[in-house]
Structure 1
Amino acid sequence: MIDKVCIALDAMGGDHGPEVVVPGAAIALTRKPDTSFLFVGDEARIRPLLDAHPNLAAVSEIQHTDVAVRMEDKPSVALRQGRRRSSMWLALEAVKGRRAHVAVSAGNTGALMAMSRFCLRMLPDIDRPAIAAIWPTLRGESIVLDVGATIGADAKQLVDFAVMGSAMARILFDIERPTVGLLNVGVEEIKGVEQVKEAARLLKEQAFPGMDFRGFVEGDDIGKGSVDVVVTEGFSGNIALKTAEGTARQIGEYLRSALGRTFLSKIGYLLAKHAFDTLKDKMDPRKVNGGVFLGLDGVVIKSHGGADAEGFASAVELGYDMARYDLTAKILQGHVHERAAMAAGMASATEPALAEAAS
């Protein structure tokens, strides 16, 4: 466990840049006082904002650059033009050079993923990265991955995602063996595409020590919190995420419209204000802001581009937890068990065939 966590912040990323990043870091510092910060970006914009927060300024330094990746840049363009000089790249480079334990950016998601893979590289034997999102549920929270990094994952990659998501859940939820489910169109074993069915077979037969595999889960199980970790590939995961976010906004608009329609509904709102405030707090997307890039040799957190200071603080705090409890080491540890279990499974499957051939 790391004693003091240093967080590199892409101060120019997102819709608002330093005007949100700096106050967001100040909020996070009040909750995680054993943190220091490296702000990467335009010092002329960062310094006055930092001076307004003396406690934050005392544990921070600025690395100046006047190059920023734009939200509309294609990943290939951002990688080619922003490499070595952009605030995004330099924040990642601080993690690679061990000057920071985690990088947080609200910038262009595609560019951040491309730069992260190029700068930090993938962990050994992990083919593709995954973005893990924290999902509010009826039970509390779950982790859903992948929500957009890898489109069309094969069975081995889905198993990798299960191992990585379990490592994250052990840190975030303090659970020894998180429950894991594979997202599918039904819970019956005959349903689903071959990659998902094969991944389920591997997870079930090998009995991975760091997880409690519960088989298939359906879309409504995500909100129920039926398992701690929901595993899927990036196409369906991203659709599920955007659908949930849109539905939450839709319900919020319905409530606002209904509660302001008549005088009696306004009176009813006042009488039930505490209950509505509780509901609003549970549906507040700022509380679960931040996607974790898993599979990299380093910790990277992606904040929503339009997040306000409170939302950005949530992403910073998530990065703090992932770094302090050494997410990368836990993924590597889980992956060693995964390789051993899969090797044992292949050996046990080969033995009967060899015996039959010998006879």
Structure 2
Amino acid sequence: MADRLTISLDGMGGDHAPDIVVAGAAIARERLPNAYFLLFGDEARLRPLVEAQPLLKGCVEIRHTDKAISNDDKPSAALRNGKQSSMRLAIDAVKSGEASCTVSAGNTGALMAMAMFGLRTLPGIDRPAICSVLPTMNGESCMLDLGANVECSAENLVQFAVMGEVFARTVLGLAKPTIGLMNIGVEELKGNEEVKAAANTIRNSNLPIEFKGFVEGDDISKGTVDVIVTDGFTGNVALKTVEGTSKLISTFIRETFQSSLMAKIGYLFASRSIDKLRLRLDPRRYNGAVFLGLNGIVVKSHGGTDGIGFANAIGVAADMAVHGFIDAMKADFEGLQVDSEAAREAAAQ
């Protein structure tokens, strides 16, 4: 089909691969009737799983390899020894143009290293960033960087803002996403020099960015802005805090309704509302961290997810491909480079 969307999958990546990969592909196929999957991995294990899924009939090509990247492999070792691994071959399919995007639930460090080596970064981007969607009081927002870059310069943060804005437009469907820089306060005098310099650059650029200034940690859950930009150290700590708080709330609710007979009876009346809450807090719904800044679409699924979570990661990759994420990124960074050159010329005069 002319409009077929080809997605490459690392069939052997993840704690529960290959079962969840194949199950996720089948679930995703219901939403994406034009999807076609290149599935890399051990054919002896993959073939029976694919044949057991009627939804995958005629839309999967299994490409055999007996090599896989383990969770214990160091990125350097994966790069050196994993050229024929399921992860690397899935990335290479994007590089060659056979696939529009790729999804893996495997080793995060190895996936980032392989993706950077194979796809490189887009022109104007120094470092890729990890971005993910989070639930908020106002719906959803995205946050980056979530761990790829422990230390960031002002220029890195500006680049992350541009990448996050394009992601929010293409994946979240927001016409004019709002952007905020994570800081220790909203006042302009607060924060380190990198954060203040980044804010000044964004404010004075001609980029189509709706910049709201500084935001704090509690703004993540409030949904104050659509895109939160920060360095990888802060972002990763914030992400783990959000995930831990979600588990804490779920545990407290479960313990509360199991605490007495009356509480159990009360649960029967409140079960529908509790189910709605559980759905909003379900991490599988927000599964799929994106490596932004690469010259190709790479989505990292949580390693311990199930088929539903992996399907959502596939959905994120598909949305980016269908809505022309890479082309939009290139266009915005061309504008950023023009602004940077103009600023340098003005400073020299």
TM-score (normalizing by structure 1): 0.95
Please give the alpha-carbon distance, in whole angstroms, between the structure 2 residues aligned to 1:262 and 1:229. 42
Query: Which residue of the other structure, out of 306, 318, 323, is the alignment partner of 2:316?
Result: 318
Residues 1-359 of structure 1: pairs in structure 2 closer than 5 A: 3-82=3-82, 84-209=83-208, 211-351=209-349
Q: Which amino acid aligns with 1:69?
A: I
1:54 to partner: Cα distance: 2.8
Deviations 1:40-72 (A, max 9, x none): 000000000000113313111011000000011
Q: Which amino acid aligns with 1:203?
A: I
Secondary structure, in 3 states, of the residue corresponding to 1:249?
helix
Secondary structure, in 3 states, of the residue corresponding to 2:102?
strand
Deviations 1:332-357 (A, max 9, x none): 11101111122223333333xxxxxx
Structure 2: where are the runs of 5+ without partners? none
2:124/2:334 contact within 8 Å kept:
no
Q: Which amino acid aligns with 1:52?
A: A
Secondary structure, in 3 states, of the residue corresponding to 2:142?
strand
1:145/1:232 contact within 8 Å kept:
yes
Q: Which amino acid aligns with 2:118?
A: C
1:151 to partner: Cα distance: 1.3
1:290/1:304 contact within 8 Å kept:
yes
2:149/2:233 contact within 8 Å kept:
yes
Q: Which amino acid aligns with 2:96?
A: G
1:285 to partner: Cα distance: 0.5
1:146 to partner: Cα distance: 0.5
1:186/1:217 contact within 8 Å kept:
yes
Secondary structure, in 3 states, of the residue corresponding to 1:307?
coil
Please give the alpha-carbon distance, in whole angstroms, between the structure 2 residues aligned to 1:220 and 1:241. 12
Total equivalences in the alignment: 348
Aligned to 1:355: none
Please give the alpha-carbon distance, in whole angstroms, between the structure 1 residues aligned to 2:55 and 2:107. 30
Secondary structure, in 3 states, of the residue corresponding to 2:180?
strand
1:178 to partner: Cα distance: 1.1
Please give the alpha-carbon distance, in whole angstroms, between the structure 1 residues aligned to 2:242 and 2:225. 17
1:268 to partner: Cα distance: 1.1
1:205/1:345 contact within 8 Å kept:
no
Bigger shift: residues 72-81 or 309-318:
72-81
Q: CA RMSD in A?
A: 1.1
Deviations 1:244-273 (A, max 9, x none): 101111111111111101001111111111
Please give the alpha-carbon distance, in whole angstroms, between the structure 2 residues aligned to 1:34 and 1:206. 39
1:3/1:324 contact within 8 Å kept:
no
2:123/2:333 contact within 8 Å kept:
no
Secondary structure, in 3 states, of the residue corresponding to 2:218?
helix
Secondary structure, in 3 states, of the residue corresponding to 2:146?
coil
Please give the alpha-carbon distance, in whole angstroms, between the structure 2 residues aligned to 1:287 and 1:24. 13
1:103/1:301 contact within 8 Å kept:
yes
Deviations 1:271-296 (A, max 9, x none): 11111111001000000100010111
1:290/1:303 contact within 8 Å kept:
yes
1:155/1:195 contact within 8 Å kept:
yes
Please give the alpha-carbon distance, in whole angstroms, between the structure 2 residues aligned to 1:348 and 1:226. 34
Please give the alpha-carbon distance, in whole angstroms, between the structure 1 residues aligned to 2:121 and 2:110. 16
Deviations 1:172-197 (A, max 9, x none): 23223211000011000111111011
Q: Which amino acid aligns with 2:127?
A: R
Deviations 1:217-244 (A, max 9, x none): 0011011111111000111001100111
Identity %: 51
Q: Which amino acid aligns with 1:234?
A: G
Please give the alpha-carbon distance, in whole angstroms, between the structure 1 residues aligned to 2:133 and 2:197. 26
Please give the alpha-carbon distance, in whole angstroms, between the structure 2 residues aligned to 1:311 and 1:176. 26
Q: Which amino acid aligns with 2:130?
A: I
Q: Which amino acid aligns with 1:216?
A: F
2:18/2:46 contact within 8 Å kept:
yes
